[in-house]
Structure 1
């Protein structure tokens, strides 16, 4: 008997569509023309007829965390913040332990959002008077350790190498003096976590990683994506100029960028079990790290 193909979130495709159908039925949406848009972690599904995007949280996600995200986005919408809007139904809907959320569909052109378009929304977030919600503290080192403990796709020697990198960078981080005021950060700002709007602007989306922390972590994430995924220095510089501060000129940049890249490597290594085709890319990134190749081009996973 052939096993069902794995779907985003660590469940099989059949289960994903069952959860989708039941979640949509609970809020009166028709899921018959559903199309998977994006995955590797959560399932993001378009209901074209309804003009709604459905997000099914990965297995093991805390329902309370998803509920907090929904409450936060509602608060952002009320404040007029540039975020992708929630579909107006009571949510999240919980189906067999999976939190299902519903969002307004914004049709997108082929080109991704430019880094410079992220700058003003990010600056607004970083300087926002936050609502009274219990946001977690941003901790890349803890996230790296968590991923390292769950990696099964790499050799023991490779995992040990990555662990030693985490040790080294954790030590360096103790000496980093952050320059900006702590506040709310998106946690993973990048071209694919923002959407074009019909008026030519952009809104932030994918708020799963919202946290309290240093804005430098967000800014260096944008820089890493520009450098590693082929957007180029000028593309990043336009972002820095629009934001009003260039993280690459800050003394803590190299340490913080290295930690961010190590997190991107270890997170994707942990997910290989659910996305076997990503192993070659993870191995390429590890080899680049061994060679200290800061300009090696990565492929998006």
Structure 2
């Protein structure tokens, strides 16, 4: 598929190197180009990512840039392929750098030239649970009960602040820092309008449930964001539980074709069900 899309767009794809195969398949190509292959029938999402990249860069938030000389997206077998400029020699952001970027992002007025969707935290989650073939019925029943409980609790949450522009998948790997220049935002497909806490909860969960970062690192994130500690918000545990259930759903969505994902999904479910004590260790997929 990548070869065909490259031929259509007159791009050299010889020696393409896979970078990641998550919700999108991403490849590094010659001449400093990165190909990002979307899900089937996601043309509108891919097109919106291109608009978002341009809009954020125009508003002072450095973001991965599309290759403007190529008409985009390229569609093959109903899957959109977008072409981006490679960011060489970079590292993941620190918690402080992530907090600083999110503070600026959340202060933006939503664009008027194109609409941003409302953030949908439960989108696709029930389907992943119901269709999973690698878990037993006891685990499936527990996950569905958890889904219903969290959906109800989420609907009952009070929130004092209006929705704002959020990234939707704000972890340190989605803000990268090159040797020179500003940190650069990646993975724009979930940029939307929603509660700012969704952008704060991922690092907070890393701190409270996984202990991937230290007390001082988490405090630097809070300070850089402006002093708001989402773990002290009464609704934090509900959002944290939803986020962790989503990570289980992601593993389940890949478990039919990947043994490692099936094993990881089983481990994550055991953690959520209290079989494994915190802090947890989950493997990236």
**TM-score, normalising length from structure 2?**
0.90
Counterpart for residue 57 of structure 2:
77
Give the count of matched residue pairs. 280
Report the Cα distance in structure 1 between the residues aligned to 2:156 and 2:102, rounded to whole angstroms. Answer: 26
- Report SS of the residue matched to 2:122: helix
Alignment of 1:66-105 (within 5 A): 66-88=46-68, 89-105=70-86
Point out 4+ residue stretches in structure 1 off by more than 3 angstroms: none
1:86-140 Cα deviation digits (max 9, x unpaired): 112221111121100111111234x532222111222222121111323222122
Q: How does 1:1-301 map to 2 (within 5 A)?
A: 19-47=1-29, 49-58=30-39, 60-88=40-68, 89-109=70-90, 111-132=91-112, 133-199=114-180, 201-226=182-207, 227-228=209-210, 230-244=212-226, 245-291=228-274, 293-301=277-285
What SS is found at the alignment partner of 1:54? strand
The DSSP-based 3-state class of the residue aligned with 1:228 is: coil
1:55-111, CA deviations, whole angstroms, 9 ceiling, x for partnerless residues? 1113x24211211121221222233322111112221111121100111111234x5
Q: Which whole-Å deviations, capped at 9, do the CAs of 1:171-192 have from their partners, x for residues lacking one?
A: 2223322243311211111122
CA distance in 2, matches of 1:103, 1:204: 13
Distance 1:43 1:229, change over 3 A: farther
Gaps of 5+ in 2: none
Q: Does structure 1 retain, via aligned residues, the 8 Å contact 2:97–2:221? A: yes
What is the CA RMSD across the aligned residues, in angstroms?
2.0
Offset, 1:267: 2.0
Q: How far apart are residue 205 of structure 1 and its match?
A: 0.6
CA distance in 2, matches of 1:126, 1:169: 25
Structure 1 stretches of 5 or more lacking a match?
Answer: 1-18
